[in-house]
Chain A
Amino acid sequence: MIWQLDLLILTLLVICAIGAITVRDLLSATMIFGAYSFLMCLLWAEMGAVDVAFTEATVGAGVSTILFIAAILRTSRRSKD
């Protein structure tokens, strides 16, 4: 547990979270969400929960990003609201 590293990852995580909900382009939002998942995985691994980090890396950053892109391709790219 290195608190400087924790703080750095947490700051980037908050920036990614705010970016993912403010950006209008859904494809960009998906990419930022993938980066968010990867940072979350780093945070879990740094806090010692390797099992949760493993799940986050495979499901969060790997498969769900692809599924989001596949879903966006079937609908529209720009958010209406």
Chain B
Amino acid sequence: MKILQERARGGAMGEDLILRTSVSLLAPFIQLFSLYVLAHGHYSPGGGFQGGVLLGASFILMALAFDLKHSMQLFPLRANLIAGNIGALIFVGIGVICALLGGYFLDYAAFAKVIPMAVPDWRSLGILLVEVGVGLGVASIMLSLYWDLASGGHLEEGL
């Protein structure tokens, strides 16, 4: 606990070579697995939420093994803001476009009127597009929740 408090104040903690090497080797595989979970969410366990949480957790893991600044270099604050907003915009945008095309909110079959493709194909593709938006939003929100809680809102140093 004392070590953790020292670390939260930005004090030196000593560099653990094994921890840092293993985390920097492991994080790309976690990100790849998160993309797999996201892309196969509509016919196997997983989906946008779980993929997004895995993507956010890989950056949280980098922040824990190195420090807060390192994770903010990997996924900058501005990119985080843009990713979160684009994610929400994809979700709501697709829903509203479906409604404008004459269907219900998030009724993907309405897309078949604009781009001719079979209705079941559109239902499958639409849920994938929506899940990409959900994944982007969830990953960004998870990471910014961690940043704000760990650094007390200052985004300077933290856990």
Taking beta carbons and an 8 Å cutoff, which residues of A are in contact with B? 27, 50-51, 53-55, 58-59, 62-63, 66-67, 69-71, 73-74, 77
Contacts and interface: CB of A to CB of B under 8 A. Distances in A.
Interface string B115-157: 0000000000000000000000000001001100110100000
A63 B50 contact: no
B146 A66 contact: yes
B27 to A, nearest CB: 14
Contacts of A67: 145-146, 149
B159 A62 contact: no
Contact of B60 (A27, A66, A71, A73): A66
Interface of B: 1, 4-5, 8, 37, 45-47, 49-50, 53-54, 56-57, 60, 64, 142, 145-146, 149-150, 152, 158-159
Given A50-B45, A63-B60, A66-B60, A71 B149 contact: yes
Contacts of B57: 58, 62-63
Contacts of A69: 4, 159
A27 B47 CA distance: 32
A66 B53 CA distance: 13
